[in-house]
Copies of this chain bind each other. A is one copy, B any other.
């Protein structure tokens, strides 16, 4: 089931990359690269930081095929993708929930401190989008108004709190991932943003 979620998340991330790249009038090669980087960039940076190379997408071809298929689909149906906006948003949100917890567990396996593991989880979930925005010559959207990362951090803190309770590790995984998803959904629904530090300016 995790594998299915992972693939749905990859599709959502790749399509978000295609839409940004089309918006920047890139050529087909540029669109493919931006989609690829958005989908695998976060996990790649995580793997490089902990020294787990070759990085994961180089060893499981499924992701490459899924990304290429998503790009072809998104380019052909780009004018109709609006109808899928809600599904894509859901896939994307479920994907970040999963990636956060997977990243945390990779940190734990590398014997890193909980705070560093949460940072790794957040990097896994968010830095594909950061690299996408840098390649498109934009300040990363996540640094300005998204609660995306905050959801990951809250989910990560829950993960370590839940581990202290007498519950199954699969349940910890699922609940922490669920918290990321719920926080993000609520934040978007109620337009919650981080408190601004610019009030008095």
Contact = CB atoms under 8 A, between A and B. Distances in A.
Interface of A: 21-22, 24-31, 33-34, 44, 48-51, 53-55, 58-59, 61, 64, 75, 78, 110, 112-113, 115-116, 119, 130, 134-140, 142-145, 149-150, 193-198
Q: Which 3 A-B pairs have the closest CB atoms?
A: A30-B143, A51-B53, A137-B139
Given A116-B58, A134-B134, A135-B140, A194 B28 contact: yes
Given A22-B198, A28-B195, 19 more contacts: A22-B197, A25-B198, A26-B139, A29-B149, A33-B149, A48-B49, A50-B54, A58-B112, A58-B116, A59-B112, A61-B113, A64-B113, A64-B115, A64-B119, A78-B197, A130-B135, A134-B134, A135-B143, A137-B137
Contacts of A33: 143, 149
Nearest to A134: B134
A74 to B, nearest CB: 10
Contact of A27 (B53, B78, B130, B193): B193
B50 A48 contact: no
Contacts of A112: 54, 58-59
B116 A29 contact: no
A90 to B, nearest CB: 23
A58 B52 CA distance: 14
Contacts of A193: 27
A61 B107 CA distance: 14
A143 B54 contact: no
Contact of A53 (B48, B64, B196): B48
A186 to B, nearest CB: 17
Nearest to A49: B55
